[in-house]
Amino acid sequence: MPIILALAGLQLKEGASHEPGVNKILEERLAELTEAEHGGWEGHERIDGWTYSNDRQEDRNKGELGNPLLVSYNQLNEEEKDRDRKTI
């Protein structure tokens, strides 16, 4: 999360509440931050051995790590994009 916030010029501070205007900055940069969040998740999953697959359940039954969400952010449907937006 610190890396994502840094894209918007923000940082985490221990024990601090958010400063005025933070919500506006997050709203203005939401698309960029959400895409970065998904990219970070995707990179982490690929490092752990996951690959793109249309059929997650079939792959798991074979002992393989497949996930249909391992695509670029712009290829996700709106429901999946909303999951990333909620994370931000």
Question: Does residue 24 have a pLDDT over 80?
Answer: yes
Q: Where in the sequence is the domain holding 21, given as residue range(s)?
A: 2-87
Instruction: Give pLDDT, residue 66.
Output: 85
- pLDDT, one tens digit per residue, over 40-76 is 999 999 999 998 888 766 656 667 788 889 999 999 9
Using 50, 70 and 90 to split pLDDT, how confident is the model at 23?
confident
Between 78 and 13, residue with greater pLDDT: 78
What is the count of structural domains for the chain? 1
Q: Measure CA 16 to chain center.
A: 24
Comparing CA positions, the residue from 30, 25, 35 lying closest to residue 72 is 35
pTM: 0.74
Question: Does residue 78 have a pLDDT over 90?
Answer: yes
Contacts for 50 with CB less than 8 Å, ≥ 6 apart: 65, 66, 67, 70
